[in-house]
Amino acid sequence: NCGGRRFTSKELISHAYGSLRELLEALLRDQSCLEEHVQAVFAKASHGSHRLERIQLATGLQELVAVFGVRLDVNEGTLAELCKKYSRTEDGGILFPEFMSLCRVVLQDRYVLWFPEILPVSTANFVRQNDRHLEEVYKMGTKLGEGSFGIVYRVEHRLSGEQRVCKKIAKSKSDMTSDQILQEIGHMAMLDHPNVIKVYEYFDDPAFVSQIMEPCNGGELQDKVDEFRKSGKAPYDEAFVCDVVKQTLRALAFMHNKPFLHKDLKPQNIMMVDKASSSIKVIDFGLAEMFNPHQKFAATIGGTLLYMAPEVFRQKMTVKIDVWSTGVILYNLLTGDFPFLAQWPPPKGRDEAWWQEQTIEKIKSEPPTKHSRLGKWSAPCLDLLIQMLQKDDKLRPDATQCLDHPWFRGYSEVAPTLSVGVVQCVEAYARMPELRKGIFLLLAHQYEVQAQALLELRALFTHFDVRNQGSLSATDLKAVLIESGMGPLTAERVYHALDRGKQGQINWTEFTAAAIWFSVCRNDRAIDAAFGTFDTDQDGRITAEDLCLVLADDRGHDAWQRRLPALFDELADSPGPVSRPSRRGLPGFFSRVFMKEAAKGGTLEQFRQYVKQKLDFRAGDVLYAVT
């Protein structure tokens, strides 16, 4: 219960409740707590009287919500309406029982406003088969590479102008079945992290499966290792090595938390985002495996021999095989060579099978080669290398434990801060209708963020992901927002709004959607391409079913269908800083889409107007008439 005392914000949050939302829920759930709080509010506002006059009612309602750190503005018209509805006296005074009823209604109204029902949206749901022909959607560009499986091209998305990469896999030549190729795409779709390659969509025809992925313009990490091997001089410093290994481990910590094993980590499967920075993306999930946390060992063997952990040959694989592979990559970066390598070419009379047997034996039983180039690197760096190449996987740290190593602290970056622009954007995003949030999540997933903004957001996200799980917890994000000057209630509202997957954590694309929506509004080609994503039948209109198909997964389909018809009224009439143009001047997008008598759907121009509607960047709460 309330402990026989009036609520104070500091006491409630630090002792009784973990959050303002929990406090509000307690008041609505527990009649005695609500009555105790309202009695104290009534006594203060009435100055000890048995009734509230009109001006005192405004004071009482402000005092009611003051514990949440907000000011409630009640205009004269609303006061008059409330007095008329709730007064049981001839002169319009409000007695305690009626004030109690009004307070419950007001708090329920605030709860719906501050913490509206979230319609779940998963970025994995955006990655789907495109039934159109590949070259209808993409302009084919230069060939980037070719292998036994097929060809990789640079392509341009015709609607948005976005540069992407097409991995065109020949079904007849691939050593993977069509189901395995589609499984790889499914794995990639589930991995939403700044250091994991993003897949947008795929095409499946009788001859090819074509994956469409984000471009990485800096080449493979293997290119840098090869340059070191050939020249004898590393084309990078230790800070670069540290950053690459840290990002790789962050990607692994995230994957392993899912839980996923990569099982084929090597420098060829780590791409440099550009030539100027040390930003990386992990690619190639053909061997990745969903790993049951209750399952002791992984089910299938795979990978590249020189990067395989000793336990792979015992067929007892856990997530730590990826840590071993990262240790081999670290050794590559430090020496340009391999830690476990039999004589090559094999001596006379020996063949490749002999070389493989000897290499496996070295991996299983011998220490890493003491390479002369190891001496130029720092002791903390070499200490982590030894730990990652620990043959006993029980003694080998996992990815999260590796990230706690002192080597990374020695190169830790200055703590980034949220810019005023980002703070304003995420606050305004939290106040948007659910459909608009879902559209901006799609835009954040499908379309490229400007390079400089992306670097800032990636630095923020990874720095504040203190648990190294590829997501921001409620505690972490709220602390960052409050430190940036946001009020506690607003910070909770932002967290509530960003958690589109309703998983209790904010993933990478959820974070970027809230941070970049304002700039996306100026990108007409991206908005038009988003319309094209919804308009699957290419008739120039989108309907409620079109929206559901893209935004709603199995968990949220019923909720989306239930809420979609009302979303227009929510946009037009909800209290808060949403600009409310007159109904006569509205674009009519939602009325056309959702009303039975206008089943033709909304046009591209109507969609543009809806997405680009402006929000006011202002704080405060307004109480409109409540029922």
Between 237-246, 393-402, 482-491, the lowest mean confidence (pLDDT) is in 482-491
Give yes or no for residue 288 having a pLDDT over 60. Answer: no
pLDDT digit string, tens, across residues 407-441: 999 987 777 778 888 899 999 999 998 999 999 99
Question: Distance (Å, rounded) from C-alpha 200 to C-alpha 446?
Answer: 6
Q: Which of 138-147, 293-302, 543-552 has the highest mean pLDDT?
A: 138-147
Rounded to an integer, the average pLDDT of 466-484 is: 87
At 120-161, the pLDDT tens digits run 999 999 999 999 999 999 999 999 988 767 799 999 999 999
Contacts 24+ apart (CB under 8 A), 42-48: 42/96, 42/99
The CATH class, in words, for 9-114 is mainly alpha
As a whole number of angstroms, the distance between CA 428 and CA 422 comes to 10
pLDDT of residue 180: 82
pLDDT digits (tens, 9 = 90+) for 22-74: 999 999 999 999 999 999 999 999 999 999 998 999 999 999 999 999 988 88
Contacts 24+ apart (CB under 8 A), 417-421: 417/483, 417/484, 418/460, 418/480, 418/481, 418/484, 419/456, 421/518
- Known binder of ligand: residue 167? yes
Q: Please determine, for residue 587, whether its predicted confidence score (pLDDT) is greater than 80.
A: no
Angle between helix 420-430 and helix 488-498 axes, rounded to 10 deg: 70
The reported pLDDT for the residue numbered 135 is: 97
Q: Determine if residue 485 is left, alpha or beta; phi over 0 gives left, psi from -120 to 50 gives alpha, anything else beta.
A: left
Residue 285: pLDDT over 80: no
Q: Is the pLDDT of residue 266 over 80?
A: yes
Lowest mean pLDDT among 153-157, 228-232, 444-448: 444-448
Of 423-427, 538-542, 611-615, the range with the lowest mean pLDDT is 611-615
Most confident of 388-402, 469-483, 496-510, 571-585: 388-402
Question: Domains of the chain: which residue ranges?
Answer: 9-114, 123-213, 244-410
Q: Say which CATH topology domain 123-213 has.
A: Phosphorylase Kinase; domain 1 (3.30.200)
- Is the pLDDT at 569 greater than 80? The verdict is no
Candidates 110, 52, 100, 106; CA nearest to 78 is: 106
How many helices and strands in the chain, by DSSP H and E? 27, 17
**Average pLDDT for the chain:** 85
pLDDT of residue 622: 52
Q: Which amino acid is at 440?
A: F
Q: Looking at the domain that runs over 244-410, which CATH code has it been given?
A: 1.10.510.10
Structure tokens at 325: 């592979």
Tell me which residue has tokens 């493989």. Answer: 356
